[in-house]
Amino acid sequence: MPEIIFESNTGVIFEKTVYKNGRCKMVVRSKEPPDHIMTYRYKDISVYQSRYISWENLNCCGGWKCDETYLQTAVQQDKKLFASISFSMYDTDFVKQVPQHNMTTEKDAGYIIEKLKAELPPDCILGIDSPDVPRHLCTIRHIFICKNGAVKDYINIPEVFLSYERLGIIIDDESKKIITSLCDVPIQLFSENAEPPFSYGNPRTGAELVFVGLLLGYPIESTAWLLERDGYFPTTKLSV
């Protein structure tokens, strides 16, 4: 019988089904078409838990409509380590022509950003994530909010490796060294403006994918499925 693990206020549902063979699937679907968005398959076992890791954070992965208010406040509320937030800023004259669409202008975005800065807790940082991007009728502005410090200050990395092992993902020693090294880097340096070790939006290796999952707070099970599906690491048929 499917169990709803998380339901967003934008109508996105994470629904888990457990099978007798010890595997399960998490179906991400929307109340609006298209109904099916994504399916994750993994071993139904207990893994490392952290306040910074959740299916709610995966709802902010950019693949579907998410709660922008959550994204703008999750880091401050100790639910996420790094959040990239975008604003579509429309020309003021164009907004006046279509007021019913409640579009954001550069002035509106500036007000929201300044308000976020003013209310920022002392353990959080706000900055520009990447240069403004011109688009038809609007400009996209990207900012980030992150925790001060490194991922290792908030996440138990050895427990993460143990969780992947229990999920049947065999991470080699060299990849573990790379992940550990990335977890030592100050989180703010993963902003695109900071010449990061790699672009968190485009992980190229299994090690980078594991790290991105921790940086953005995605469930270990979801990343394990991507690692298994795309063959980044060998897997085992570990009994559960």
pLDDT at site 240 = 40
Residue 239 pLDDT > 50, yes or no?
Answer: no
Cβ-count burial of 225 within 10 angstroms (0-12 exposed, 13-18 middle, 19+ buried)? buried
Burial 111-149 (b: 16+ CB within 10 A, else e): eebeebeeeeeeebbbeebbeeeeeeebeebbbbbbbee
Overall residue count recorded for the chain in this entry: 240
Residue 92 pLDDT > 90, yes or no?
Answer: no
Q: What tens digit of pLDDT does each residue of 27-71 get?
A: 999 888 778 889 999 999 999 999 999 999 999 887 677 888 999
pLDDT cut 90: percent of the chain above it: 75
Q: What tens digit of pLDDT does each residue of 129-174 get?
A: 999 999 888 899 999 999 999 999 999 999 999 999 999 999 999 9
Total Cβ atoms within 10 A of residue 163: 21
pLDDT at site 65 = 76
Burial 23-49 (b: 16+ CB within 10 A, else e): ebbbbbbbeeeeeeebebbbbbeebbe
Confidence of residue 238 (pLDDT cuts 50, 70, 90): very low
Residue 226 pLDDT > 50, yes or no?
Answer: yes
